């Protein structure tokens, strides 16, 4: 076996947490992007600013705020546990939540740009051909914005893999539960004689990043061919 | 089928105040210079623009009535709209573009109708392609087919040729003619090009600065001297219907029209075929006596119906040739020398005849 148990656990957790983070945040990013790109309402600038907060706040602060609201003894966290049976503090779901929140603005920005770049004329054409609003969203807007959606998801996924501050603050550094690759590297460096381990984990992170880049490029080409660009 | 349009809307720069009626199927040209408000009128009919006041009736359906607070959204108006820039959906094949409106039509046309339109517009070869792989003319044809297949009760063509070069225009115009002659569908053809009007239009609505300044049958308006003045163009001459009378042994084809006959080089059309004939005002000369030895094949006896000074050097003379009106553009010098007055008998020497389908 090429990887030790700690290493493969950290790798698997990183992939799982990032996947869940991106997938869970995507519908919200899509809805928010559509709202910001297509409608005008009072306080839009404020909403826009708030949605981008995770990008500008220090991740440790985000982690701290999450701990203060979603901890099992805090009001929101207690409600989630009691009514949905969902515990976020100190487990991988909390890590995914933190990563999803931190990388939400990446998805939002990419999708919003894609939506703003769409030709409104196509929507008019679809309207004269009998397509209602939902129909136009599904048959035109979504497929044409797909390159933007994919690009946003890939950027968010890559950023999630590297997320450190918010995760360690909110859900701590528990091997096999919340210890992703960056956290494992940190732990190895804290252990006397762990430099070799840290180097192996860093190399693993680099390989993962390169594979990710290649897949992203392939996905982008595939999607663009699909929509005739 | 009747279409009745009345619109009023105040813009910053001008007031749109247009009213017109379309009584018959065929092509009605919404004609006028750029900035006259043609596209705004077309958008309002389709529901893409909402005027402040007005009423739009298509057949028996009121699609817009500001007084009764009726404003159907575009998708319920059943108006096929062909945009200048085609607006094909780039992520769909030509076939799926064509089926987009077809699938969503309240009374969906059958597969046989789909096949018929594909054949009519020559789209068989294109069905599997994406719009990015089409030429400008091909895109126009697909956009036309897509609109037709949505089973519209009115088709609007908004400057469909304006984005194309001369060669592409020549390529697509015959398709429009085929469509006009094939479908019992009223069509509104928005254009600022008089030659397109001359070639395609059955009726004309002339728009200037947001107002309808003339409307009527194309065959009546085009040779009208006042119309040319209103349209701000040189008079086009005459446009009228003719049919193939006979093919002669000397290489000429004889065309019969209301008012006489014309001889043109041999046409590839059957006897009895209906055609559309254009005589450009510049191609008509006038003579007070019938000229003897002359190379022109067509010398028509006419009566002067109207005269109008066109510019510094030119005058236009409208001539009645039986029931058909034709126009000659001559110099003011000739006009004075011949002492042309309404009611006078004149021979029109036609230098060339343009023949279009129907």
Q: What is the pLDDT of residues B15-64, one digit of tens each?
A: 999 999 998 888 999 999 888 899 999 999 999 999 999 999 998 899 99
Structure confidence at residue B235 (pLDDT): 67
B254 forms beta bridges with B246, B263
Query: What confidence tens digit (pLDDT) does each residue in B80-100 have?
Result: 999 989 999 999 999 999 999
Cβ–Cβ below 8 Å for A127 and B90: no
Residue B18 pairs in a beta bridge with B7
> Distances from the Cα of A87 to the Cαs of A13, A21, A95, B179, in angstroms?
17, 16, 11, 66
What's residue B23's pLDDT?
87
pLDDT at B358: 65
pLDDT of residue B177: 83
Closest Cα of chain A to B153: distance in Å?
A: 12
Q: Which of B207, B179, B251, B288 is nearest to B45 (CA)?
A: B207
Task: Give the distance from CA A215 to its chain's centroid.
Answer: 17
| Closest Cα in chain B, distance from residue A211 (Å) | 28
Q: How far apart are the two ends of chain B, measured CA to CA in Å?
A: 22
Token pair belonging to B168: 């592409």
Give Cα A226 to chain centroid, integer Å: 24
- Which segments of chain B belong to CATH 2.40.50.100? 238-357
pLDDT of residue B348: 94
Q: Is the ipTM of this complex over 0.85?
A: no
Residue ranges of chain B that CATH labels 3.40.50.300: 3-221
- At residue B294, does pLDDT exceed 90? no
pLDDT at B168: 81
CA separation (Å) from B202 to A148, B23, B228?
48, 11, 17
Question: In the CATH scheme, what is the code of domain B3-221?
Answer: 3.40.50.300
Q: Residue B21, SS3?
A: strand
How confident is the model at residue A207, as a pLDDT?
93
Token readout for A195 is 């430099």
Return mean pLDDT, chain B: 90
CA dist B325 and B305 (Å) reads 8
Tell me the two tokens of residue B207.
């728009």
B73 touches chain A (CB under 8 A): yes
The rounded radius of gyration (Å) of the Cα atoms in chain A is 20
Q: Residue B142: list chain A partners with CB under 8 A.
A: none
Q: Which long-range contacts (CB under 8 A, 24 or more apart) does B214-223 make?
A: B215/B20, B215/B21, B218/B29, B220/B325, B222/B197, B222/B198, B223/B318, B223/B325, B223/B326, B223/B327
- Asked whether B150 and B117 are in contact (CB, 8 A), the reply is no
Exposure string (b/e) for A178-210, b if CB count within 10 Å is 16 or more? bbbbbbbbbbbeeeeebeebbebbeebbeebee
Contact B251, B332 (CB under 8 A): no
User: With 0-12 CB in 10 A as exposed, 13-18 as middle and 19+ as buried, what is B242?
Assistant: buried
Q: Band the pLDDT of B142: cuts 50, 70, 90.
A: very high
Q: Which residues contact B327 (CB under 8 A, 6 or more apart)?
A: B223, B225, B235, B236, B237, B238, B279, B281, B284, B316, B317, B318, B319
Which of the residues A121, A129, A141, A145 would you substitute to probe the B interface, choosing the one with the greatest number of B C-beta atoms within 10 Å?
A129
Q: B48, A132: Cβ pair inside 8 Å?
A: no
Pairwise CA distance, residues B42 & A85, whole Å: 58
Amino acid B18: pLDDT: 93
A142 touches chain B (CB under 8 A): no
pLDDT recorded at residue B107: 79
The shortest CB-CB distance from A128 to any of B80, B90, B130 is to B80
B181-223 pLDDT, tens digit per residue, is 777 789 999 999 888 898 889 999 999 999 999 999 998 898 8
Question: pLDDT at residue B312 above 70?
Answer: yes
0.80 cut: is pTM over it? yes
pLDDT (tens digit, 9 = 90+) per residue, B245-285? 999 999 999 999 998 899 999 988 888 888 999 999 989 99
Position B163 pLDDT exceeds 80: no
* pLDDT value for B130: 93
**Chain B contact for A117, CB < 8 A?**
no
Sign of the Cα torsion B278, B284, B288, B291 reads: negative
Coil vs helix vs strand at B4: strand
Count of CB atoms situated within 10 Å of the CB of B73: 12
Q: Do B83 and A228 touch (CB under 8 A)?
A: no
Using left for φ > 0, alpha for ψ between -120 and 50, and beta otherwise, residue B307 falls in beta
How far is the C-alpha of A219 from the C-alpha of A153, rounded, in Å? 11
Q: Please report, in tens digits, the pLDDT of each residue of chain A (229 residues total).
A: 578 888 999 999 999 999 999 999 999 999 999 999 988 889 999 999 999 999 999 999 999 999 999 988 888 888 998 898 888 888 999 999 999 999 999 999 999 999 999 999 999 999 999 999 999 999 999 999 999 999 999 999 999 999 999 999 999 999 999 999 999 999 999 999 999 999 999 999 999 999 988 988 898 888 888 777 6
A114 touches chain B (CB under 8 A): no
CATH class of B238-357: mainly beta
In tens, the pLDDT along B318-357 reads 999 998 999 999 999 999 999 999 999 999 999 989 988 7
Put simply, whether A46 touches B (Cβ < 8 Å) is no
């Amino acid at each position: 076996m090429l990887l030790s148990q700690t290493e493969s656990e950290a790798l698997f957790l990183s992939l799982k947490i990032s996947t869940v983070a991106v997938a869970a945040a995507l519908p919200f990013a899509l809805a928010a992007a559509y709202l910001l790109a297509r409608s005008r309402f009072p306080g839009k600038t404020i909403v826009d600013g708030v949605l981008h907060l995770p990008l500008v706040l220090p991740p440790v602060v985000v982690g701290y705020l999450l701990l203060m609201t979603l901890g099992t003894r805090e009001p929101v966290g207690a409600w989630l546990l009691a009514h949905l049976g969902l515990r976020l503090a100190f487990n991988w779901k909390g890590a995914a939540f933190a990563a999803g929140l931190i990388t939400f603005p990446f998805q939002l920005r990419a999708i919003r740009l894609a939506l703003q770049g769409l030709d409104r004329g196509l929507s008019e054409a679809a309207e004269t051909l009998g397509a209602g609003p939902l129909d136009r969203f599904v048959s035109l807007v979504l497929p044409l914005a797909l390159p933007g959606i994919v690009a946003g998801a890939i950027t968010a996924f890559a950023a999630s893999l590297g997320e450190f501050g918010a995760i360690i603050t909110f859900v701590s550094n528990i091997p096999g539960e919340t210890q992703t690759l960056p956290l494992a590297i940190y732990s190895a460096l804290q252990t006397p004689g762990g430099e070799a381990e840290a180097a192996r984990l860093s190399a693993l992170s680099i390989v993962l990043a390169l594979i990710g880049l290649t897949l992203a490029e392939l996905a982008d080409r595939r999607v663009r061919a699909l929509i005739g660009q | 089928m009747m279409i009745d349009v009345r619109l009023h809307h105040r813009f910053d720069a001008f007031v749109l105040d247009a009213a017109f009626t379309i009584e018959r199927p065929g092509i009605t040209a919404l004609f006028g210079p750029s900035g006259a408000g043609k596209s705004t009128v077309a958008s309002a009919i389709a529901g893409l623009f909402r005027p402040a006041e007005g009423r739009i009736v298509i057949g028996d359906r009121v699609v817009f009535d500001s007084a009764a607070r009726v404003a159907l959204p575009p998708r319920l108006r059943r108006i096929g709209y062909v945009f200048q820039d085609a607006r094909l959906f780039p992520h769909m094949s030509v076939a799926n573009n064509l089926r987009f409106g077809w699938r969503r039509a309240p009374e969906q046309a059958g597969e046989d109708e789909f096949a018929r339109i594909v054949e009519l517009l020559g789209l068989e070869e294109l069905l599997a392609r994406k719009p990015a792989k089409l030429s400008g003319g091909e895109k126009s044809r697909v956009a036309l087919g897509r609109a037709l297949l949505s089973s519209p009760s009115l088709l609007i063509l908004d400057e469909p040729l304006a984005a194309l070069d001369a060669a592409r225009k020549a390529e697509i115009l015959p398709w429009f003619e085929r469509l006009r002659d094939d479908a019992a569908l009223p069509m509104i053809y928005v254009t600022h090009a008089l030659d397109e009007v001359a070639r395609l239009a059955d009726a004309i609505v002339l728009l200037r600065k947001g107002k309808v300044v003339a409307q009527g049958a194309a065959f009546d308006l085009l040779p009208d001297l006042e119309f040319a003045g209103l349209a701000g163009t040189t008079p086009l001459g005459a446009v009228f219907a003719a049919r193939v009378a006979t093919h002669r042994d000397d290489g000429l084809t004889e065309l019969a029209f209301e008012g006489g006959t014309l001889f043109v080089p041999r046409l590839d059309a059957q006897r009895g075929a209906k055609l559309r004939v254009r005589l450009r005002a510049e191609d008509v000369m006038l003579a007070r006596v019938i000229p003897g030895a002359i190379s022109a094949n067509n010398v028509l006896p006419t009566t002067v119906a109207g005269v109008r000074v066109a510019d510094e050097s030119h005058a236009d003379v409208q001539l009645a040739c039986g029931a058909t009106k034709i126009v000659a553009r001559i110099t003011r010098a000739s006009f004075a020398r011949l002492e042309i007055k309404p009611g006078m008998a004149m021979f029109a020497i036609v230098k060339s005849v343009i023949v279009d389908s129907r």
